């Protein structure tokens, strides 16, 4: 297993010497294990370069694991931890046909009354969930939708997102913070923070959000809530197979 993981870290294909160095074992020992892995189809060897690469059985295992990667199901424990430790309402949203859509929600024993429930569709610009999808995705269609949303907004709403290019300015702000933060923009008296959940390909597959009454909700980037939401979202991403670029 150590050798398979070393081969994966090396990009799935490497020489015997490189695999041995990555695994921290001598080449003769690694060669014996690679022979066994090759016979089981977990590893194959290129006839021209003699480099080893992940074989068809490893591909089948990987595909089976990917089919189980449901961010909503894998994020259930994170929602419970956030609810219990921070005493806030939290939910997971995915990008649906109509926009960011709430899929699973957890509320504390004394929840803040909000008109957001599973199935609710949220705006891109005025919700923390929407901002996280917008900022951490390079989807140009999503950015065009956000611009249309801005054009249809009231002057009061537009004043909350300034600059010559409001959409790009907002994206850079959220990326700089590491999470999306809104205060009284979608719902009066309600603040929220949101962080992205990435899949194995590095695409935003869901967004983890926490919200609460603004007068008791620490929405600072380095406060008590944002780091926890970012941490839990990162843990879900890791379970989904996402490896953060160095």
Q: Which CATH superfamily is domain 71-239 in?
A: GAF domain (3.30.450.40)
pLDDT of residue 246: 66
Three-state secondary structure of 77-95: HHHHHHHHHHCCEEEEEEE
Which residue, among 236, 207, 192, has the nearest Cα to 142 in the 3D structure?
A: 207
62-84 per-position pLDDT tens digit: 878 767 768 888 999 999 999 99
CA distance linking residue 238 with residue 78, whole number of Å: 13
pLDDT of residue 111: 61
Residue 228, exposed/middle/buried by CB under 10 A (0-12, 13-18, 19+)?
buried
Domain segments of the chain: what residues? Answer: 2-67, 71-239
Going by the DSSP 8-state scheme, the letter that residue 30 receives in this structure is: H
CATH of 2-67, one of 3.30.1360.70, 3.40.190.290, 3.60.15.10, 1.10.10.10: 1.10.10.10
pLDDT of residue 101: 94
pLDDT of residue 113: 63
Vertex 70: Cα angle to 68 and 73 (nearest 5): 110
Spans in the chain with pLDDT lower than 50: none
pLDDT of residue 27: 93
Which residue, among 243, 211, 206, 228, has the nearest Cα to 73 in the 3D structure?
A: 206
């Amino acid at each position: 297993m150590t050798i398979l993981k070393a081969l994966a870290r090396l990009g799935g294909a490497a020489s015997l010497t490189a695999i041995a160095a990555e695994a921290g074992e001598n080449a003769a020992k690694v060669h014996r294990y690679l022979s066994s892995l090759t016979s089981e189809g977990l590893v194959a060897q290129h006839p021209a370069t003699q480099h080893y690469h992940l074989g068809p059985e490893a591909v089948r295992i990987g595909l089976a694991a990917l089919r189980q990667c449901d961010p909503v199901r894998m994020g259930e424990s994170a929602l419970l931890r956030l609810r219990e430790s921070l005493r806030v309402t939290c939910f997971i949203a995915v990008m649906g046909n109509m926009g960011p859509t709430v899929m699973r929600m957890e509320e504390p024993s004394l929840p803040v009354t909000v008109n957001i429930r599973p199935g609710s569709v949220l705006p891109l610009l005025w919700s923390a969930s929407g901002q996280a999808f917008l900022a951490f995705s390079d989807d140009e269609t999503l950015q065009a939708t956000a611009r249309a949303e801005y054009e249809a907004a009231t002057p009061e709403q537009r004043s909350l997102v300034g600059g010559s290019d409001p959409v790009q300015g907002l994206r850079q702000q959220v990326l700089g913070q590491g999470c999306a933060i809104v205060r009284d923009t979608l719902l009066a008296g309600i603040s929220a923070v949101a962080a992205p959940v990435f899949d194995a390909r590095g695409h935003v597959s869901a967004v983890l959000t926490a919200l609460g009454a603004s007068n008791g909700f620490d929405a600072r980037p380095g406060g008590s809530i944002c780091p926890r939401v970012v941490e839990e979202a990162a843990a879900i991403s890791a379970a989904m197979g996402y490896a953060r670029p160095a």
